[in-house]
Amino acid sequence: MIVVMRSGAPEIEISRITQELSTWGLHAERIVGKHKVVIGLVGDTAHYDPLQIQEFSPWIEQVLRVEKPFKRVSREYRHGEASDVAVPTPNGVVHFSEHHPVVLVAGPCSVENEAMIVETAKRVKAAGAHFLRGGAYKPRTSPYAFQGHGESALELLAAARQATGLGIITEVMDTADLDKVAAVADVVQVGARNMQNFSLLKRVGLQSKPVLLKRGMSATIEDWLMAAEYILAGGNPNVILCERGIRTFDRQYARNTLDLAAIPVLRSLTHLPIMVDPSHGTGRAEYVPAMATAAIAAGADSLMIEVHPNPAKAMSDGPQSLTPEQFDDLAQTMAVVGKAVGRWPQVTTAVA
């Protein structure tokens, strides 16, 4: 249930109502929007009549039930207002939100060595990326495949951050590694294979770094939003959802089926920001530009793209990785589409 306060409702009234509802055994959470304050109520609300709450105060505009199984992540819970996941990076605060320009995240699948990660970071930054991605802990189908360099790769990501000022996004696979990963990452990634690792979801919900939650490869939208609900229920409101393709019957020509329809669907269901990963979504570098630009046109808030200085030699996901030159070209094309939909950063030119 949500309690929508009238605009200008006095602070003392909001606190009084929040406290009163807490004594009913409900978790009452204050959500401060641009114009109004909403009090979100989670718990066994079925017994309570919205009219009963409405009578608490003339400052209450409306009391509404959230009918969906996901509560905190639902669009209604914030009374329609989008979340803004604001991430501080050395280069400034980057906003993942439908009211901000598209955020570009780029980098290799895996961190291989210092030279390649620093070089890639410099190249993607020059092309306009805000975040560097790169795996230190890699979830691989085969136990014999490269598993990532682990802790030493985290140090290399820290070096790349220092060299470029880019924010860092890297995956955590195990609760035991979370503190180490969160110490370096500006955004902690939970990968597709762990989307329903509930212990991990609970743990990332208890820490303060924003979380990038990739869609499980056979997860429905509802499974995915319920997974995000775990993180918000743990106390961390900063979740970004990443569509990275799902498994369908045809894997012959594309690694996955990139569900671009998920963008408008999520937009209507949730206030959380939406990222699209066309690299894992297609599995082939040649298909990435078409899907990246389509995702921007469809309203994505952020793009994640794998870039490697020498894809033919990559230790993982080479076939879907762009070269830095290809990423430069794609950045130009994305800018055209991004500007057309009003979602590209303004370049301020000096006036003579």
User: What is the closest distance, in whole angstroms, from the C-beta atom of residue 54 to ligand PEP in the complex?
Assistant: 44
The pair of three-digit structure tokens given for residue 159, joined into one six-digit string = 């070096």
User: What is the closest distance, in whole angstroms, from the C-beta atom of residue 247 to ligand PEP in the complex?
Assistant: 11
User: What is the closest distance, in whole angstroms, from the C-beta atom of residue 280 to Mn ion in the complex?
Assistant: 6
b/e map 158-176, b = 16+ CB within 10 Å:
eebbebbebbbbbbbbeee
User: What DSSP string runs through 201-260?
Assistant: HHHHHHSSS-EEEEPPTT--HHHHHHHHHHHHHTT---EEEEE--B--S--SSSSSB--T
The pair of three-digit structure tokens given for residue 124, joined into one six-digit string = 């993607």
Task: Quickly tell me which residue has 């991990």 as its tokens.
Answer: 200
User: What is the closest distance, in whole angstroms, from the C-beta atom of residue 211 to Mn ion in the complex?
Assistant: 18
User: What is the closest distance, in whole angstroms, from the C-beta atom of residue 295 to Mn ion in the complex?
Assistant: 17
Cβ closest to ligand PEP, residue 78 vs residue 244 = 244
75, 244, 255, 271: which one binds ligand PEP (CB under 6 A) = 244
Q: Residue 128 half-sphere exposure, CB side, CA atoms within 13 Å? A: 23
- What is the DSSP pairing of strand 92-96 with strand 131-133? unpaired
Rounded to 5, what percent of the chain is helix, strand, coil? 40, 20, 40
Cβ closest to ligand PEP, residue 79 vs residue 280 = 280
With CB atoms as reference, the residue minimizing the distance to Mn ion is 109
DSSP at 197: -
The pair of three-digit structure tokens given for residue 171, joined into one six-digit string = 């995956």
Scan residues 72-101 and list those touching ligand PEP (CB under 6 A). Answer: none
DSSP E strands: which ranges in the chain?
Answer: 2-5, 27-32, 37-42, 60-64, 85-89, 92-96, 103-107, 131-133, 167-171, 187-190, 211-214, 239-243, 274-276, 302-306
Across the strands, what pairs with 168?
132
The pair of three-digit structure tokens given for residue 310, joined into one six-digit string = 């020498």
Cβ closest to ligand PEP, residue 271 vs residue 280 = 280
Q: How many residues of this chain bind Mn ion (CB under 5 A)?
A: 2
Q: Which does 139 bind (CB under 5 to 8 A by kind): Mn ion, ligand PEP, none?
A: ligand PEP
For residues 189 to 228, the per-residue mask of contacts with ligand PEP, x marking binding by CB under 6 A and - elsewhere, is --xxx--------------------x--------------
Cβ closest to ligand PEP, residue 74 vs residue 321 = 321
- Of 103-111, 174-182, 214-222, 238-246: span binding Mn ion (CB under 5 A): 103-111
Tell me: does residue 171 bind Mn ion (CB under 5 A): no
Residues 2, 201, 205: CA angle, nearest 5 degrees: 55
CA 106 – CA 150 distance, rounded (Å): 19
For residues 291 to 330, the per-residue mask of contacts with Mn ion, x marking binding by CB under 5 A and - elsewhere, is --------------------------x-------------
40, 135, 278, 338: which one binds ligand PEP (CB under 6 A) = 135
21, 104, 109, 157: which one binds ligand PEP (CB under 6 A) = 109
User: What is the closest distance, in whole angstroms, from the C-beta atom of residue 267 to Mn ion in the complex?
Assistant: 26
User: What is the closest distance, in whole angstroms, from the C-beta atom of residue 213 to ligand PEP in the complex?
Assistant: 10
100, 280, 308, 343: which one binds ligand PEP (CB under 6 A) = 280
Cβ closest to Mn ion, residue 101 vs residue 135 = 135
Residues in the site for ligand PEP, rule: CB under 6 A? 109, 135, 139, 191-193, 214, 244, 280
**Residues at the site binding Mn ion, with contacts judged by CB under 5 A:** 109, 317
